[in-house]
Amino acid sequence: MSLNNFSYSHTIGIASFLGRGFMNPVDVRLDSEGLVYVLSRSNAGNQDVRVSVQTQDSEFLHEFGRWGTDPGQTTQPSAMAIDSEDRIYVTDEFMHNVTVFDREGQFIDRWGESGTENGQFNRPSGISIDSEGNLHIVDHLNTRIQKLAPDGTFISSFGTFGTEPGQLNFPWGIAIDKDDGIWIADWRNDRVQKFSRDGDFINSIGSSGKKDGQFNRPSGVHVTSDGSIFVADWRNDRVQAFTSDGTHSETLIGDATLSKWCQEFLDVNPEQASWRENAALFEKEKRFWRPSAVESNDDGLILIADSCRHRIQIYQQERVLAMN
């Protein structure tokens, strides 16, 4: 599939249970210096969760937040956000809380517990930060969005269960645009909904299906600084791009080449390279398999967490998609 507004750049990643590489990455974020933070969720049978930090050129730096229930550990991490001071906030489904780290991965704080009261969670998932530094957290099974101060103090919430406009059904991802509009990946309703900063419904994008502008369990939503909207169309194995008014503009299905880490592995394991060549899976392997999250910078770099292929695919946005 030819691309009109994007060019494929490169891939970072290799399947790994620790150190350099990822295991089922579910989120990707950039800090103020452009370092790439990748959240590995692993799978139900493993304890290989962590946040990995690397450069955009694939230089692995360090990791933190490995499996466990002690302060500074995570068990079933869902998403993360990075604030203006490069503090990293990680939501944890199993522990129903949020853990805060500094940019070096040192533990700062954690807060939250299981429940339905204000400031409590039932499997928190997506997390995003508004212009005032407040956190907006998708309280997944409580079917609401909670707004909290950086120290976990409850401010407000909105959201009710249902299929009507403004209602939610298994919400997962969240993004906040430059005007503090709140975008929610409404997973089971197969749509993305936009709300005001006060939680009032504005509009929605999408419906169930495989056509352009339709979704099958959207897991992530991201809004760039120019207003372009990206949706990780999870079960359709693609990422869709929209203009700021919700008009579909392009669909990405994956264009991965071997990452630097994979190539280095094959260089010292030639028998593996031979097996790969004989398997003739190169075309299929390029494509996304359950993409879960999207990140960008102001230079048009687009990073996509390609979860089941244990990698980050990186594109360059060629021109502005947003409507003026």
Mean pLDDT calculated for residue range 228-252:
97
User: Contacts by 117-120 with C-beta closer than 8 Å and gap 24+?
Assistant: 118/146, 118/154, 118/157, 119/146, 119/148, 119/152, 119/153, 119/154, 120/96
Confidence of residue 11 (pLDDT cuts 50, 70, 90): very high
Confidence of residue 316 (pLDDT cuts 50, 70, 90): very high
- What CA–CA distance (Å, rounded) separates 291 from 241? 14
Confidence of residue 276 (pLDDT cuts 50, 70, 90): confident
Q: Which residues pair with 218 in a beta bridge?
A: 233
H-assigned helices in the chain? 260-268, 270-279, 282-285
Query: Would you state the pLDDT for residue 324?
Result: 38
Residue found under tokens 């790439």:
36
- Check: CB of residue 253 under 8 Å from CB of residue 290: no
Structure-token pair, residue 196 = 């005001």
Write out pLDDT tens, residues 56-69.
999 999 999 999 99
* CA proximity to 312, closest of 3, 76, 24: 24
Query: Would you state the pLDDT for residue 323?
Result: 46
Q: Which CATH superfamily is domain 6-317 in?
A: TolB, C-terminal domain (2.120.10.30)
Q: Would residue 300 be called left, alpha or beta, if left means φ above 0 and alpha means ψ between -120 and 50 degrees?
A: left
DSSP 212: T
Q: Which residues pair with 205 in a beta bridge?
A: 192
pTM of structure = 0.95
- Check: CB of residue 183 under 8 Å from CB of residue 230: no
Which carries the bigger pLDDT value, residue 1 or residue 28? Answer: 28
β pairing state of 6-12 and 311-317 = antiparallel
Query: Would you state the pLDDT for residue 281?
Result: 67
Residue found under tokens 């969670």:
121
Which carries the bigger pLDDT value, residue 206 or residue 283? Answer: 206
Query: Would you state the pLDDT for residue 8?
Result: 97
Write out pLDDT tens, residues 83-138.
999 999 999 999 999 999 999 999 999 999 999 999 999 999 999 999 999 999 99
Length of the chain: 324
Summary mean pLDDT of the chain: 94
Has residue 262 got a pLDDT over 80? Answer: yes
